[in-house]
Structure 1
């Protein structure tokens, strides 16, 4: 249980922390993400599975404070499902008529409940370290989607010529390859509702898609607007060109 709680904390710290030792950096594999490119969209089933990984593995330590529960409807969750998810959390609200704060079940309009009431409580529960919020985690590094995915799948047995100190682990994609974070994802760690096999690769892919959506929930609308503007400019160019030919035809 302790490992399940501490692993997500170490994941985010590893993303933002410098290398523990100098060494060669192995480039992260380039994944063909569905949300990349002019016509990119989020893979809904993958994002829903990624939410499940976040909820069951990451949320014990890490918040997602820029996202509201109602936003999950954009991923294909029904209104009833969102209400059920939100009501599973207790939200501090108030003050009431007596001037006191009180607890109530979450509502779809609430933002994701933080795992700790304040930063001091978060540090106290994590050996002095403050677990970062994951709302913008895929933007924490250049090529953050591929780096996050690679970090979660990059654990291997250390080569014979590599000496690891106590508490260090070997990750071929981490700068210097020596990392304090234990492997955050393990085979079968979650049971996906759609029956997808929960391999490390699958969970890493899905939670990356979910966190990419959390960081840019407006991405698809932005792509659609860009396409509309592009089509408008193409049509407008044709109209202007035809008008130019008509106006100046007697001078040629």
Structure 2
């Protein structure tokens, strides 16, 4: 399954950009580096998004933040269920999408639905929703009855305070059009949190990488890859050339 997904991902990438780096010799935090629309992107390919170790995602977040590049996963399933087209599964602040969703995003059609754990919802443009509701002559109460939700829930949709579950989102799209929903940009960098940094600290502004080719990453005036052995140097330097960073041995 994973080999088929990898080959299919490469085919999609090559239709819309370039694969700059691929290494499946061991389970690294990333599978490839691709370039699309002038952006270099770290990509992890996995059969199921929840099979990716937490430590690997920690590496991905550190690399994404300090290199300033997008990071995302491509997976066939999440939580043991098929990852549907148009849905972004967010795990530990890293986005995972199906290959079909990735292909559409490459063509400029960003996904609408966000899944976190078992909950899937759309992010509504509250101001647009309010304008469309008022143009239709509907009160908050009337729309709430149409959606079978409380008036307070509709009010919170319009204030952007909560996402809209799939069933209600489908109804809103029928009433007011699908453009009332915000699109999710999957080509964005992610940030390492305080736990990532505290657990991986190896000096001032330097952090250990456990499932990557460099053994660590540091940031002073610019990012630096750290290697501890010659075994890692060749691939670390290949990555460094792609991202325009220096490699140092410590």
In the superposition, the TM-score normalised over structure 2's length comes to: 0.25
Whose RCO is larger (CA < 8 A, sep 6+)?
1
Larger radius of gyration: 1
In the superposition, the TM-score normalised over structure 1's length comes to: 0.25
Structure with a larger share of its residues in helix: 1
